[in-house]
Structure 1
Amino acid sequence: MSVLAHIKNNQIHPDVRKLGVVVRKLVPEMSAKFFRRGNWFMRHFAQRHFPKDMNVTEHWAQRPDGSRLRIIVAQPMQPKPLATGVLWLHGGGYAMEIPEIDLSYARHVQAVSNAVVVMPDYRLSTEAPYPAALDDAYLALRWMNDHHAALGINPEQLFVAGESAGGGLTAALTLYARDQGEIPIAFQMPLYPMLDDRPTASSAENDAPIWNTKSNANAWRLYLGAAYRTDHVSPYAAPARATDYRNLPPTYTFVGTIEPFYQETLTYIKHLQDAGVAAHCDVYDGWFHGVDIVAPKTAIAKKATAAWQAAFKAATEKYYWRHDG
């Protein structure tokens, strides 16, 4: 399926066409200033407003420099032993948002599985560029592994997941964890992930709603710093630059046909499959970036959510770090 550089309104799925048209007019571009303002708003109005239907607690992990990483943990109201441990990494272009924004994803995870969801408040590119986010993600993974007994987590079933930049960070973390050889990851779910700092067939000159070429370039510029648009970008920063996909965990994702990450997601899954990794991608025609977040009650968003929930549930029944079954 081909992707046109300029996204016409009639290419947007009917379920979200009106919304997409409005959003495209209201937010033509997300800049560094936009990211910083968004973060200010979230820090002041969204943080620590935990839902009452989930057991959400706040924890801290110490970084090597003595500063602390904030981690929130979502546990079922009625915990069961040997839960799947899910490290969930939020989106926001590596530049924006807080983990509380993604508690709805934790709720969806726990609706279909016995899972404890660990969500780190990793450093954003507006305060520290790469590798700060990756360092924090790995610290959170180690923290989850070290505290598995207290959290009721099965140490042989650690998953990593996230959406958008959180999906890209998921892919980066699984690469990094594989190469470190310390903490085995049994499954990854990088949903419509932000993987490639270089232009692709779908990310170049893309003006789709929510996330487009300009926003993408601004986010990568912040995240990569001086390495942006050079040949010195690590695959741990932009996983699409990896050359070895062997021994990565089984993978599920989905992506929309009109969003910038369409091509890089398909390419990533193909690389995994060619390396012998069990990997699958569902594709939704006319889906722009983040539809499941901005329009969760639409039929297309419900379909995508139900599909990834089914894939996640199947993974909990099949994948352990020994890759049994």
Structure 2
Amino acid sequence: MPKILRFPRVVKLLNYVVERFRQAKVIEGVHLEERTIRSSDGTATLRLVIYRPENVSGELPALLYCHGGGYIMGNPEQSVEMIEKFIKTRPCVVIAPDYRKSFTKPFPAGFDDCYDTLLWARDHAAELGIAATRFIVAGHSAGGGLAAAVTLKARDTQDVDIAFQMPIYPMIDDTQPDDPAREIHTPVWDTRMNKLGWGAYLAGLKRSGEEIPAYAAPARNSDYRGFPPTITFVGTLEPFYWETAAYVDALRSEQVDVAYEEYEGCYHAFDALGGQAEVSRKARAFTYDNFAAFYDKYVVSGADASGVPS
């Protein structure tokens, strides 16, 4: 990650430029639609980008996709290649919220935007041509953190049935940047950038002296009963390695079905940025092969986390 992005004013300017010149990215064979909904706090209008495969009739599963960007930057369009691969691996409607970033409004804004999108999709299932149950929730990096947080709240409230989740190398532990044992200096996203991201995301809670809830930092959750099946992977040379491994161990301790892989010597987002390197291709294959397997097992067959049909 360029060092200049360590300055909040630069990130704000970058977000403005990206939004100002944003263009829809068309996927061949996929219908693209934008919707807007009002944020649940009543202070903002939230843009949703919806991708639906063409020439596929009938009700389809829905996938809530949360983009990455350290909670401070990014938009759904940056993830269009990943979204396309999900749709073309198995037919689904992908709903991607352009949630508020932390320098616009810190937690709970971004989290609420993602959860509100899930509830909106559930309530408009017939209109969208999706199943009102058995959603898939996914995201990479900070988007993986949001996916884990959305799944946690859905487990707690039972508002929505999550068939399986895919928090890929998720940003879930706000204590990492202040832990010398886990300090790491590698390309793309390091401990210093991690500190900036968490500082911005949790700024409101820090100012008010509130306790950090698990919906903000899902690694703070201590109860993993009733979680849906999970797919994730991580490189060993990135800030999110330890928290991802601990998250997987906690899920497995409750007999949750987890597909997990560690990639030795790999930095953050190596799957997306590594081009045709063998390890990057392996990580991408792991993602979509397991997406297909879990889709077939937990969406089509309707099995629960133990593999028993529900």
**Normalized against structure 1, the TM-score is what?**
0.86
Q: How many residues align?
A: 301
Cα displacement string for residues 296-317 of structure 1 (whole angstroms, at most 9, x for unaligned residues) = 3332222111111011111111
Q: How does 1:1-325 map onto structure 2 within 5 Å?
A: 26-27=2-3, 30-64=6-40, 65=42, 67-199=44-176, 204-228=182-206, 232-320=211-299, 323=304, 324-325=308-309
Question: Given the superposition, is the C-alpha separation of residues 276 and 161 from structure 1 closer, same or farther in structure 2, using an over 3 Å criterion?
Answer: same
Q: Which residue of 2 aligns with 1:10?
A: none
Cα displacement string for residues 277-320 of structure 1 (whole angstroms, at most 9, x for unaligned residues) = 11231111121111222233332222111111011111111114
Please tell me whether the aligned partners of residues 107 and 204 of structure 2 are also in contact (alpha carbons under 8 angstroms): no
Please tell me whether the aligned partners of residues 122 and 133 of structure 2 are also in contact (alpha carbons under 8 angstroms): no
Question: Given the superposition, is the C-alpha separation of residues 304 and 80 from structure 1 closer, same or farther in structure 2, using an over 3 Å criterion?
Answer: farther
Q: Note the C-alpha offset of 1:116.
A: 0.8
What CA distance in whole angstroms lies between the structure 2 residues aligned with 1:203 and 1:82? Answer: 49
Q: Note the C-alpha offset of 1:52.
A: 4.6
Cα displacement string for residues 42-69 of structure 1 (whole angstroms, at most 9, x for unaligned residues) = 2123343434553111011222316321
Give structure 2 stretches of 5+ with no counterpart. none
Report the residue type matching 2:26 in the other structure.
F
Report the residue type matching 1:32 in the other structure.
P
Please tell me whether the aligned partners of residues 202 and 258 of structure 1 are also in contact (alpha carbons under 8 angstroms): no
Question: Given the superposition, is the C-alpha separation of residues 180 and 149 from structure 1 closer, same or farther in structure 2, using an over 3 Å criterion?
Answer: same
The alignment partner of 2:202 has SS state of helix
Report the residue type matching 1:133 in the other structure.
G
What CA distance in whole angstroms lies between the structure 1 residues aligned with 2:23 and 2:211? Answer: 36
Q: Note the C-alpha offset of 1:228.
A: 4.7
Give the percent of matched residue pairs that are identical in Structure 1 and Structure 2.
37
Cα displacement string for residues 223-258 of structure 1 (whole angstroms, at most 9, x for unaligned residues) = 001545978110000000001111111101010010
Q: Note the C-alpha offset of 1:28.
A: 7.5
Higher relative contact order, chain-length normalized (CA < 8 Å, sep 6+): 1
CA RMSD of aligned residues (A): 2.2
Question: Given the superposition, is the C-alpha separation of residues 215 and 236 from structure 1 closer, same or farther in structure 2, using an over 3 Å criterion?
Answer: same
Report the residue type matching 1:193 in the other structure.
P
Question: Given the superposition, is the C-alpha separation of residues 38 and 310 from structure 1 closer, same or farther in structure 2, using an over 3 Å criterion?
Answer: same
* Consecutive aligned runs of 4 or more in structure 1 exceeding 6 Å deviation: 200-203
Please tell me whether the aligned partners of residues 168 and 238 of structure 1 are also in contact (alpha carbons under 8 angstroms): yes
The alignment partner of 1:48 has SS state of coil
Cα displacement string for residues 140-196 of structure 1 (whole angstroms, at most 9, x for unaligned residues) = 001111222232222232100000000000001111111122111111000010010
Please tell me whether the aligned partners of residues 133 and 160 of structure 2 are also in contact (alpha carbons under 8 angstroms): no
What CA distance in whole angstroms lies between the structure 1 residues aligned with 2:215 and 2:141? Answer: 16
What CA distance in whole angstroms lies between the structure 2 residues aligned with 1:180 and 1:268? Answer: 21
What CA distance in whole angstroms lies between the structure 2 residues aligned with 1:203 and 1:309? Answer: 33
What CA distance in whole angstroms lies between the structure 1 residues aligned with 2:151 and 2:181? Answer: 24
The alignment partner of 2:61 has SS state of strand
**Normalized against structure 2, the TM-score is what?**
0.90
Q: Which residue of 2 aligns with 1:13?
A: none
Q: Note the C-alpha offset of 1:322.
A: 6.3
